[in-house]
């Protein structure tokens, strides 16, 4: 029997539908070549949909829950108040689907220009694993004497042993299958309570993974080492807020948002995981046909790996990297080929690959 996977597709706003369209063409090619199939359902979601219907994640939750994976485009529109979609959709999905680990490979592909001088692909091959459901993202804060000169705003970061444990355990397993090095990134000298709990969990789990070496780097120092010495890192595990920050720096190093991807993983099988390029909806270039679909296609590769289609995942990644490396620029007309053409080129390589 052919393997079959149920995919929920959320193209979203701006360039989202354009780049997700390319990813689906590449998925067709991968199915034809690697002998599996997907059942895809597309859902309207994002800023335009919200402006029309007022619907956010809550209205989609039941529909999406049955999917094996979610392929996500991008969301956002200047007409929607900042925070609404972020909290009402993205964070809500991470919470309700318990997508505990946000996994972001920081990999410099050969042929992709990096702004860090002298950096080479061999030196830049790490993965950042970000806790994705708690910390400062719990949204607990309050203000007393609001609107007066005596206003005080309190913002809380909540860290549970269970929440930290599941993501650190995942990071250890990942490291065990790679270069066997796990780095905790935090600010333990200042955020003492949270920092101690993170360090305790890493120390405790380390005994279960004796083959994995662990070390520790403060988040401020990480901003120094990540661009200058990324070869120091294999898997970096960190909290929600620090992860948000250092993964953007990771994207810079690997050549920009165009190639950066992110998996929001549910680790206990209770709900689907979500895969996305980390670029935004880029309303300024939407419709021009000059969006680079590589990020979306690389996130498809992550999704395929997650669904157990390892060969297809490798082929999609390799094809994307091949085409990426041949481009004179990473975005805009300087790419020399429009969005759809790039998608078709990558799909063609996947279809013919090794046949």
Ligand X SMILES: CC(C)[C@H](C(=O)O)[C@@H](O)C(=O)O
Catalytic residues: 137, 187, 220, 244, 248
Tell me the closest approach of the beta carbon of residue 153 to ligand X, in angstroms.
Answer: 19
Sole window of 34-42, 84-92, 205-213, 222-230 interacting with ligand X (rule: CB under 6 A): 84-92
By CB under 8 A, is residue 108 in contact with a second copy? no
From the list 39, 63, 156, 334, which residue makes contact with a second copy (rule: CB under 8 A)? Answer: 156
Which one of ligand X, a second copy, none interacts with residue 328, CB within 5 to 8 A by kind?
A: none
Which one of ligand X, a second copy, none interacts with residue 116, CB within 5 to 8 A by kind?
A: a second copy
Give the full edge-to-edge strand order of the sheet including 273-277: 36-42, 3-12, 69-74, 273-277, 261-265, 101-107, 125-131, 235-238, 181-186, 213-218
Sole window of 11-19, 95-103, 181-189, 305-313 interacting with a second copy (rule: CB under 8 A): 181-189
Token code pair at residue 203: 């120390």
- What DSSP letter does each residue of 182-216 carry, written as one string? EEEEE-TTTSHHHHHHHHHHHHHHHTT-TTSEEEE
Interaction mask 77-106, a second copy, x per CB under 8 A: -----xx--xx---x---------------
Which one of ligand X, a second copy, none interacts with residue 223, CB within 5 to 8 A by kind?
A: a second copy
Cβ-contact 97, 58 below 8 angstroms: no
From the list 36, 57, 109, 137, which residue makes contact with a second copy (rule: CB under 8 A)? Answer: 137
Interaction mask 236-255, a second copy, x per CB under 8 A: -----x--xxxxxx-xx---
Q: Which residues contact 324 (CB under 8 A, 6 or more apart)?
A: 109, 111, 112, 259, 294, 330
Cβ-contact 73, 276 below 8 angstroms: yes
- The per-residue b/e assignment along 285-302, b for 16 or more CB within 10 angstroms, e otherwise, is bbeeebbbbbbbbbbbbb
Sole window of 30-38, 45-53, 154-162, 166-174 interacting with a second copy (rule: CB under 8 A): 154-162
Which one of ligand X, a second copy, none interacts with residue 192, CB within 5 to 8 A by kind?
A: a second copy
Which uninterrupted H or E stretch holds 12? strand 3-12
Quote the distance between the C-alpha of residue 217 and its chain's center: 22
From the list 35, 63, 65, 86, which residue makes contact with ligand X (rule: CB under 6 A)? Answer: 86
Among residues 85 and 316, whose Cβ is nearest to a second copy?
85
Strand partners, 262: 276
In three-state secondary structure terms, 131 is strand
Tell me the closest approach of the beta carbon of residue 29 to a second copy, in angstroms.
Answer: 32
Tell me the closest approach of the beta carbon of residue 89 to a second copy, in angstroms.
Answer: 12
Rounded to an integer, what distance in angstroms lies between the CA atom of residue 4 and that of residue 11? 21
Closest CA to 325 of 299, 300, 304, 349: 349
Apex 105 CA angle, 101 and 109, nearest 5: 170
By CB under 6 A, is residue 139 in contact with ligand X? no
Closest CA to 311 of 103, 69, 29, 7: 29
From the list 244, 311, 322, 341, which residue makes contact with ligand X (rule: CB under 6 A)? Answer: 244
From the list 103, 116, 212, 298, which residue makes contact with a second copy (rule: CB under 8 A)? Answer: 116
Tell me the closest approach of the beta carbon of residue 45 to ligand X, in angstroms.
Answer: 14
Sole window of 86-94, 116-124, 153-161, 302-310 interacting with ligand X (rule: CB under 6 A): 86-94
Closest CA to 124 of 223, 226, 216, 218: 226
From the list 39, 156, 220, 334, which residue makes contact with ligand X (rule: CB under 6 A)? Answer: 220
Residues forming contacts to a second copy in the complex (CB under 8 A) are: 82-83, 86-87, 91, 115-118, 136-137, 139, 141-143, 145, 148-162, 187-194, 196-197, 200, 219-221, 223-224, 227-228, 241, 244-249, 251-252, 257
Residues forming contacts to ligand X in the complex (CB under 6 A) are: 86, 90-91, 189-190, 220, 244
């Amino acid at each position: 029997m052919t393997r079959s996977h149920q995919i929920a597709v959320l193209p979203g706003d701006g360039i989202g539908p354009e780049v997700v369209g390319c990813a689906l063409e590449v998925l067709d090619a991968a199915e034809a070549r690697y002998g599996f199939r997907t059942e895809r359902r597309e859902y309207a979601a994002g800023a335009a949909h919200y402006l029309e219907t007022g619907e956010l994640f809550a209205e989609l939750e039941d529909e999406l829950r049955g999917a094996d994976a979610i392929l996500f485009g991008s969301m956002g529109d200047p007409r929607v108040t900042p925070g609404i979609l972020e909290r009402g959709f993205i964070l809500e999905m991470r919470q309700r689907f318990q997508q505990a680990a946000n996994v972001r490979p920081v990999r410099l592909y050969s042929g992709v220009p990096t702004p860090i001088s002298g950096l080479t692909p061999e030196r830049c091959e790490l993965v950042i694993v970000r806790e994705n459901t708690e910390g400062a993202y719990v949204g607990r804060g309050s203000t007393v004497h609001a609107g007066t000169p005596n206003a005080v705003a309190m913002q809380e970061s909540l860290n549970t042993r269970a929440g930290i444990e599941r993501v650190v355990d995942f990071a250890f397993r990942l490291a065990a299958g790679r270069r066997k090095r796990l780095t905790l990134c935090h600010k333990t000298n200042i955020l003492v309570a949270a920092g101690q709990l993170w360090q305790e969990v890493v120390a405790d789990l380390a005994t279960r993974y004796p083959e994995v070496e662990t070390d520790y780097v403060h988040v401020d120092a990480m901003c120094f080492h990540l661009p200058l010495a990324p070869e120091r890192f294999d898997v970096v595990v960190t909290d929600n807020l620090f992860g948000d920050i250092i993964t953007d720096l990771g994207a810079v190093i690997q050549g920009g948002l165009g190639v950066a991807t992110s998996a929001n993983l549910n680790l206990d099988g209770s709900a689907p995981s979500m895969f996305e390029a980390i670029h935004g909806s880029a309303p300024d270039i939407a419709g021009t046909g000059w969006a680079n679909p590589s990020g979306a296609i690389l996130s498809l590769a992550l999704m395929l790996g997650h669904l157990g289609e390892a060969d297809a995942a490798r082929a999609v990644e390799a094809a994307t990297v091949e085409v990426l490396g041949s481009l004179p620029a990473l975005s805009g007309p300087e790419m020399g080929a429009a969005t759809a053409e790039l998608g078709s080129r990558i799909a063609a390589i996947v279809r013919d690959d090794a046949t």
